[in-house]
Structure 1
């Protein structure tokens, strides 16, 4: 591979690292052609982009986009593929589902929701990760809960009692 070709690959990887907020570094080496095709099909269905990369080129691309965390660079040994996704937990759930058929892909590292996860033992944590929108929804639900309880109480029999108490207090002030 010429230096110009390497620069094109580095630029392409850097562009994908900018375009996708989450990526998983995996090892899919031992998969046969049928399993690889099945994995690629599942990636397509889940809107995950799977790319086989050279470690040195990925390292340079990570440096270019300023995501070259020391822990991420350490795992770049042996065969490497990278899964790009817009949803943080999509590759993790895909890996977990695919492992019912095979012992690969093995997670080397992941960059999800701005955090670095190292090692295959992080799959479960990544499957349970919530997106920013999901967290905002949870917070809104928690904030609405007390207001709903007050409204519900006011609309029920207790609400009539509260209204009676308010009227009594108003009449005393007059």
Structure 2
């Protein structure tokens, strides 16, 4: 087998692995993106423990077919970049939609979220959801509130009890 073929099979295998591991995958057209913007975008993905890459469309299509994503073919034309969200499905959508607000040259094509093919509007809607960290913080805050209220009530009750005991003590001393 030729080395070129082996290299292509390695890329297909890598892409299949990432498709299988990622909670969300978003395909974009990057034809008008400058090198500086591309570098900044990659940095944002890296900081968020997500990934932004460019693969050959034919190799992405081959991997997608092997995993049963046959409807993806029409989105794999022209310059196509792909982003992967491993820890949180919302992260890539948030990064891309925020980037689109201030930069031209990038266009949402489609995505795969929980194994389902979605369009640009669903990706934008996904970007408006709270991230995993925000949801955890809200859940912890909800659990903490009743405990804080109980402590507040108990401290008020104890304070009242101490005042009452001091009044009884002072009355007996007098």
- Aligned residue number for residue 8 of structure 2: 6
Q: TM-score, normalised by structure 1?
A: 0.68
| Structure 2 CA distance for partners of 1:107 and 1:4, relative to 1, 3 Å | same
Q: How does 1:22-171 map to 2 (within 5 A)?
A: 22-64=24-66, 66=67, 68-86=68-86, 87-112=88-113, 114-129=114-129
Cα distance in structure 2, aligned partners of 1:115 and 1:136: 24
Q: Choose which of 16, 40, 54 in structure 1 pairs with 2:18.
A: 16
| Structure 2 CA distance for partners of 1:20 and 1:70, relative to 1, 3 Å | same
Secondary structure (helix, strand or coil) at the match of 2:101 reads: coil
Cα distance in structure 2, aligned partners of 1:43 and 1:135: 20
| Structure 2 CA distance for partners of 1:102 and 1:12, relative to 1, 3 Å | same
Cα distance in structure 2, aligned partners of 1:115 and 1:127: 17
- Aligned residue number for residue 161 of structure 1: none
Cα distance in structure 2, aligned partners of 1:4 and 1:39: 30
Contact 1:88 1:129 in 2 (8 A): no
Report the RMSD for the aligned CA atoms in angstroms.
3.5
Displacement of 1:123 in angstroms is 3.0
Displacement of 1:117 in angstroms is 4.3
Cα distance in structure 2, aligned partners of 1:10 and 1:55: 11
- Aligned residue number for residue 157 of structure 2: none
Structure 1: stretches of 5+ with no match in the other structure = 140-174
CA deviation string 1:77-122 (max 9, x = no partner): 111111011211111110111112212431111111x253443333
Contact 2:110 2:117 in 1 (8 A): yes
Displacement of 1:53 in angstroms is 1.0
| Structure 2 CA distance for partners of 1:5 and 1:76, relative to 1, 3 Å | same
Displacement of 1:18 in angstroms is 2.1
The structure with the larger Rg is 2
Displacement of 1:136 in angstroms is 10
Structure 2: stretches of 5+ with no match in the other structure = 140-174
Q: TM-score, normalised by structure 2?
A: 0.68
Tell me the matched-pair count: 159
